[in-house]
Amino acid sequence: MLKTCMRGLAFALPLFLASNLAMADPVETRQNLMKQVGAATGTLGKMLKGETEYDAELAAMSMRVLFTTPSGFITMFPEGSTTGETEAAPKIWEDKAGFDKIAMDMQNAALAALPAAGGGLEQLKGAFGSVAQNCKACHETYRVKKN
């Protein structure tokens, strides 16, 4: 079931991004995108921790989500989208170039990790670190910390 869901997500996400981002509420859209990134990262993390069995197809699909999301995600921070239920830190708008760079660094790391994701657990372990480091860097700098 999870594999089917991830497969659909991996193929539908680029279509969603292309057709709906311009019309959608940016706060809601970026939150939904982050939920998809969280699900993909969680899937990979569980495999790496041995909590679930490694599945090459599911790992590759999860990494595709991490690859496809950043380029659309960074467009969801227009001026005026700082209010409401958001964890986006003001630093995003103060340092948009830095924010965009971290997102593109994550996208590039995920692209580089795509072959490894489907190439076995040991390859995934070696490749996932750089992707996760970019997630962490962005969250530390550009996300409001929850108490």
Amino acid identity for residue 112 in this structure: A
- The model's pTM is 0.81
CA-closest candidate to residue 68, choices 6, 139, 118, 142:
6
Domain containing residue 95: 2-77+86-142
Structurally, the chain folds into a number of domains equal to 1
Q: What percent of the chain has pLDDT over 90?
A: 74
Is 110 domain-assigned? yes
Cα separation of 34 and 58, whole Å?
18
Quick check: is 71 in a domain?
yes
pLDDT digits (tens, 9 = 90+) for 20-29: 555 678 999 9
Residue 147 covered by a domain? no
What is the average pLDDT across 127-147?
90
Asked if residue 51 is part of any domain, the answer here is yes
- CATH number of the domain where residue 128 is located: 1.20.120.10
